[in-house]
Each structure stands twice: as C-alpha cells, then as structure tokens.
Structure 1
Amino acid sequence: MEQRDLKYEFYIGAAPETVWNALVSPEGTRQTFFGSVIHSTFEAGAPYEYIGPGAEGPDVVHVYGTILAYEPNKLLSMTEHPGATYAADHETRTSRITYTLETMGGCTKLTLVNDQWSPDNASYENAEKHWWMILSNIKTLCETGKTLDFGW
C-alpha cells in the first residue's frame, strides 16, 4: 500500500493559544487524544509519550518519539512510533508529525502533516483514519469547550 504524506487543514474559531493548549497541555490532550496525556519537556531532542488508558491498563504508552521542533503557539514537530503494546516492531515503525498554527483573521489555521513514513508502516491506515477524529475533536473543543461523543 502506498503511504503518501497525510495533510489536514482545519480552520478553528479560537485563538492560537487555545488551539496550542489542546495540542500540548495535559487537559487538552486528555480530552482530544482518546484520554491520553502527552509527557515531555518539549525541548528539541527530548522524548515524548502519549500515555493513557488502554486494553492493558490505565497507563499505556500509545505513541512515543522525539521532539524535533517546538515553538509555542506556532509549531510542534516530532518523530512518532506506535507504543510497544501495538506492535513488536514499534521501534522501526516511524513517521513525522508536524503541527503548524497560523492566525487567519479571527481564527486559527491548524495544519497537520504526517509524513516521512518508514517503508510498509502498518500504522499508516490507522493514522489516516484517526487524524480526522482527533482534529475534529480539537476544533470542537476549542470552539465550544466540549468534545465529540464518538459513541465509545
């Protein structure tokens, strides 16, 4: 299966600081990333992990990697691996995730690019499907203060 770059653009009726908070704060990520909280010092070269509830318990590492760039309210770029509970070959499954925020009048343009996929990365299909849900949830949270009910 061809693994092209995934690119999403969302226009959100909120300030960049509000969108940024949804991307990097414990409260924001818990609400928008399926109950997971991002843990990192957010310095270039630092590790990060999304930890949250899963089939194996309350503190499952769902995704991990390295921070590549961090510019508050503007840019977050990082490598990405699925957690060890998802695949024995998690260390070789890699891609890059880059969030960019731009002020557009009274709203924020959030662009996400998920690229640099390792060959035959089995996480691609899952990412392609779930980014829409995560980004829609971020938009809804930032605009309404509530998250989406996915019926789970």
Structure 2
Amino acid sequence: MKLEYVFYIGTHPDEVWDVLFHPEKSFKAFLGGVIRSTCRVGDDIEFVGPGADGEQTVHIYGKVLAYEPSRVLSYTDHPGPSHYAEHAEMESRVTLTLEPFGSCTKLHLINDQWTENNPLFGKTERYWWMILSNIKSIAETGKPLDFGF
C-alpha cells in the first residue's frame, strides 16, 4: 500500500519549507498541529496540538529517517497513544521532497511501508489531500483553506 502525491507550488522551496516548520504556519497547514523535533536522523519527531491529552496531544510520532532543510523530510509514522492502544504496532513511512521546478516548487510526498491491516490508511488518504492543499495555499497566499471544520 502506498499513497503518493505531487503538487506544484508557486513559490521557492524555502517558502514551502517554512510552512512545514514555522509554528504559526504549520499549525494551520497541519489542521491544528506542529512538528516538534531536533530533525536529526534517528531522533524523535512528533506532530502535536490540541486533542484528547490537552494542548500538547501527540497526534503522530516516529523517528527521523532523513532531513535536508528545504529539500527532504522522511520519518516513520505512528498514531499518537491517545488515538489507538496498539499505536506502536501501527507504522508507515512518510517521505516529503521539495525541488525547484522553474519558478515553482515540486512537492512530492510518498506515504508507504504500511503495516498490515493498518486502519489509518483510509483516514490518512483523505487527510493528506487537505494538508498538502493547505501547504500550497499558505505558501502561495499566506492563508489556509477553509474546510468548514
């Protein structure tokens, strides 16, 4: 099983990267969460935000597999402990790459290596479209999309 997306964004890769890591922008892009990590290969990565465990609920966690600023972010992906009791057994890999494409940025995301019968596949398939569209909108206009929730 694999999810794969390509978006072309009308700005420089540094601007897109800023949406991923600047807390005010990423909170909007990731529908209420921010990345918390040293971003060193082998270190932890978490997507945290308001939820069942308060303002710092861990929604996604994993380990950084690759990190090159404005170019590559890859990590293992587990749902947060408050979402599923068996969260540690549920894993996939996310690899996001940015590359200049004319005066634009090509954003390529692959979410693969899903554990068997992972119930998050369907939910993730739905939300990546919204998150990536939000990243594009924020990078190009400074504003997130209004999904009505």
Please tell me the TM-score bracket, short chain as reference: over 0.9
User: In the alignment, which residue of structure 1 is the partner of 2:18?
Assistant: 21
> What amino acid does structure 1 have at the position aligned with 2:5?
Y
Question: Deviation above 4 Å: which 4+ runs of structure 1?
Answer: none
**Please, which runs of 5 or more residues in structure 1 have no aligned partner?**
none
RMSD between aligned residues? 0.9
Return the TM-score normalized by structure 1.
0.95
User: In the alignment, which residue of structure 2 is the partner of 1:121?
Assistant: 118
User: In the alignment, which residue of structure 1 is the partner of 2:109?
Assistant: 112
- Count, aligned residues: 149
User: In the alignment, which residue of structure 2 is the partner of 1:90?
Assistant: 87
Are 2:128 and 1:131 equivalent residues in the alignment?
yes
**Please, which runs of 5 or more residues in structure 2 have no aligned partner?**
none
Deviation at 1:29, TM superposition (A): 1.6
Return the TM-score normalized by structure 2.
0.97
2:22 and 2:39 map into 1 onto residues whose CA distance is 11
Matching residue within 98, 102, 119 for 1:101: 98
Q: Give the percent of matched residue pairs that are identical in Structure 1 and Structure 2.
A: 52
1:149 and 1:131 map into 2 onto residues whose CA distance is 15
Are 2:51 and 1:54 equivalent residues in the alignment?
yes
Matching residue within 39, 45, 60 for 1:42: 39
